[in-house]
């Protein structure tokens, strides 16, 4: 098999630093190519590059390419059960598919997408190689399932239950064809910074003159950061934590700031733990630091805007003030502070830091948290996925489990939208669910950078959300807020849970969607009793139960010459339930 440049780099790194994994990496490459190919083909079908697949098995065509045995599911989702071929030739990589279909769709950024997918496939093979070794080691502990394993590991000092679950997100984003894309990282930086590769990255430090720094938070910046990180150098200057990879990447861009004396690098380093989000680092059980990283991961560079950096504490205060409306099982993880450095000439997104509450202190001793992006991952012990093992612990079967899961997720998010005009970005990557004997018991919500707030609803309830100038948080219309919530919660999150349970337990999706419908309808009916938001509830219900919903076209967004959001309509399973 001929290796790509990305694959050669990773193989050479393993041969020099972890030689026992080199042959395992090579063994994983064909499967990583095939699965990345199917992700791309499935996304192209979902986003309207060909006709929609039927509910049964059928063949679909993308130009001269035939995709065999495509099974259609709700919300435009699909599973490819057969081969992908151009004529009689079977395709085995995403680059081969792109070469075969690009002539039928000219003027798009196919070359760039091919590079991103090659990078993602190499990273997927690397993650699976690490996973194979790690799972083998955990299997030797003699635990029956994931919950038994966590209970055993939690006896060790410093074990972080939520963080452990994040390290199991091996496959990456559930909808994006570039699920594992991480550009511009050399293999060492990739391994050191990735949770699924057991990474132990470091935080570095700059210090800056106070006039170049904007701070949002109650505590003085040095006081809080030393509470999080311990004693820091810099004297009267303000400390600026930075991801160590970012520190090296941005030094040339910050030359004017260094020459002016406004910014000073320090030799100080602190080893930390990676989370499922490369740029968010676990400093302790009590704190996470979200830091700018100028690497493209999935669709975008993971720098942080000044607005997102500075808005977090205000959003956190608003959400905490609404806790009595949302129930004790909804726990927003507060962004307690944000620190933004204003460079002389470089991008204002390069050197920003958000301080967020950690997860474990919010939980009772008997709860076992699982990052929702890991729920469909293969369990490290026992059989099946983490979600299947949760259903087994639950004891009521997948349909009853789905009802309990929906009852935890849906009510607080619909309350925020229909009563206050707030739409959280509640996809799998921004939610952690705690389980008590397999029962979903508590939802921990995080990351306020993508929320949308519709001002008229907030102000009508006597509330305000002070935001930094230029913030995209304010939704220009209520439709924009609805689109955010309905896509993230119902499509990207609940849709994935429904699809996984339907496949693993051989159920009709409609049976599971009926539980989501029942929970949604009952909660909207409760909200409608409040005259202050009755009209809003009715309008939101009509939009939620429309025949079609807007689906974010992630592949079209990667292919488009200009950066923008693209959507395609997909059939709404809730509409069918309400008929």
10 Å Cβ neighbour count for 74?
21
Residue where one domain finishes, among candidates 328, 356, 384: 356
376 and 339 within one domain: no
Tens of pLDDT, residue by residue over 410-440, are 999 999 999 999 999 999 999 999 999 889 9
Question: Model confidence at 92, in pLDDT bands (50, 70, 90)?
Answer: very high
84 and 153 within one domain: yes
Tens of pLDDT, residue by residue over 39-59, are 999 999 999 887 555 556 789
Tens of pLDDT, residue by residue over 64-77, are 899 999 999 999 99
CA atoms of 567 and 554, how far apart (whole Å): 8
pLDDT greater than 60 at residue 218: yes
Q: What is the pLDDT of residue 55?
A: 56
The answer to the question of residue 178 being in a domain is no
Q: What is the mean pLDDT of residues 501-528?
A: 98
Q: What is the pLDDT of residue 578?
A: 82
379 and 336 within one domain: no
CA atoms of 369 and 252, how far apart (whole Å): 41
DSSP character at residue 184:
T
The answer to whether 224 and 198 have CB atoms below 8 angstroms apart is no
Alpha-carbon distances, residue 218 vs 191, 213, 242, 312 (angstroms): 36, 15, 21, 12
- The count of domains in the chain is 3
Angle at 553 between CA 387 and CA 511, to 5 degrees: 40
155 and 10 within one domain: yes
Q: What is the pLDDT of residue 322?
A: 98
CA atoms of 276 and 271, how far apart (whole Å): 17
487 and 441 within one domain: yes
- Mean pLDDT computed over every residue of the chain: 95
341 and 223 within one domain: yes
Both tokens of residue 368? 């076992």
pLDDT greater than 70 at residue 241: yes
CATH code of 138's domain: 3.30.310
Q: What is the mean pLDDT of residues 515-538?
A: 98
351 and 473 within one domain: no
Give the H or E element holding residue 515. Answer: helix 509-528
Range of the domain at 133: 5-159
**Which residues lie closer than 8 Å to 80 by C-beta, 6 or more apart?**
38, 41, 42, 67, 68, 69, 70, 71
pLDDT higher at 238 or 577: 238
pLDDT greater than 70 at residue 21: yes
Tens of pLDDT, residue by residue over 560-569, are 877 778 899 9
CA distance from start to end of the chain: 53
Q: What is the pLDDT of residue 54?
A: 53
533 and 426 within one domain: yes
Alpha-carbon distances, residue 446 vs 416, 429, 436, 443, 472 (angstroms): 15, 9, 20, 10, 18
């Amino acid at each position: 098999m001929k290796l790509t440049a990305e694959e050669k780099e990773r193989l050479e790194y393993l041969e020099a630093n972890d030689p026992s994994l080199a042959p395992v990496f090579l063994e994983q490459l064909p499967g990583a190519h095939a699965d990345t190919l199917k992700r791309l083909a499935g996304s192209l079908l979902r986003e309207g590059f060909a006709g929609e697949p039927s509910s049964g098995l059928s063949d679909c065509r993308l130009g001269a390419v035939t995709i065999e045995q495509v099974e259609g599911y709700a919300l435009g989702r699909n599973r490819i059960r057969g081969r992908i071929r151009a004529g009689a030739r079977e395709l085995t990589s995403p680059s081969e598919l792109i070469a075969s279909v690009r002539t039928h769709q000219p003027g798009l950024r196919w070359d760039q997408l091919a590079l991103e997918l090659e990078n993602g496939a190499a990273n997927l093979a690397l993650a699976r190689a690490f996973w194979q070794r790690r799972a083998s080691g955990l299997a030797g502990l003699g635990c029956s399932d994931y919950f038994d394993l966590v209970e055993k590991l939690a006896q060790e000092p410093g074990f972080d239950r939520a963080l452990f679950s994040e390290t199991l997100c091996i496959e990456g984003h559930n909808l994006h064809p570039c699920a594992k894309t991480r550009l511009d990282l050399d293999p060492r930086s990739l391994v050191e910074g990735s949770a699924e590769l057991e990474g132990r990255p470091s935080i570095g430090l700059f210090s800056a003159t106070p006039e170049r720094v904007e701070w949002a938070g109650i505590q003085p910046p040095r006081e809080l950061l030393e509470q999080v990180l311990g004693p820091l150098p810099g004297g009267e200057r303000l400390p600026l934590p930075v991801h160590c990879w970012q520190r090296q990447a941005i030094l040339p861009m910050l030359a004017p700031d260094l020459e002016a004396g406004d910014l000073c690098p320090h030799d100080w380093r602190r080893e930390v733990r990676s989370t499922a989000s490369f740029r968010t680092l676990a400093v302790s059980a009590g704190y996470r630091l979200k830091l700018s990283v100028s690497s493209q991961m999935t669709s975008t560079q993971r720098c942080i805007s000044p607005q997102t950096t500075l808005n977090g504490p205000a959003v956190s205060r608003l959400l905490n003030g609404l806790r009595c409306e949302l129930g004790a099982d909804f726990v927003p993880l507060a962004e307690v502070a944000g620190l933004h450095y204003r460079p002389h000439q470089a991008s204002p997104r390069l050197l920003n830091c958000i301080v967020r509450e950690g997860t474990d202190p919010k939980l009772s001793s008997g709860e076992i948290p699982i990052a929702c992006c890991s729920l469909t991952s293969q369990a490290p012990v026992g059989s099946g996925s983490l979600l299947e093992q949760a259903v087994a612990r639950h004891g009521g079967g997948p349909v009853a489990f789905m009802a309990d899961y929906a009852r935890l997720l849906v009510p607080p998010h619909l309350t925020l939208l229909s009563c206050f005009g707030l739409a959280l970005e509640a996809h799998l990557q921004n939610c952690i669910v705690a389980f008590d004997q397999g029962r979903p018991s508590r939802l921990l919500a995080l990351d306020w950078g993508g929320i949308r707030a519709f001002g008229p609803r907030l102000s009508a309830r006597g509330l305000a959300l002070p935001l930094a100038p230029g913030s995209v948080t304010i939704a220009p219309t209520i439709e924009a807020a609805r689109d955010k919530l309905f896509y993230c919660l119902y499509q990207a999150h609940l849709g994935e849970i429904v699809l996984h349970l339907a496949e693993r337990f051989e159920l009709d999706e409609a049976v599971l969607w009926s539980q989501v419908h029942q929970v949604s309808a009952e909660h909207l009916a409760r909200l409608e009793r409040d005259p202050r938001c009755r009209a809003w509830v009715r309008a939101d219900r009509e939009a939620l139960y429309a025949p079609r919903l807007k689906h974010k076209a992630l592949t079209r967004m990667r292919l488009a010459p200009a950066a923008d959001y693209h959507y395609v309509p997909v059939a709404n399973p809730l509409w069918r339930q309400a008929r």
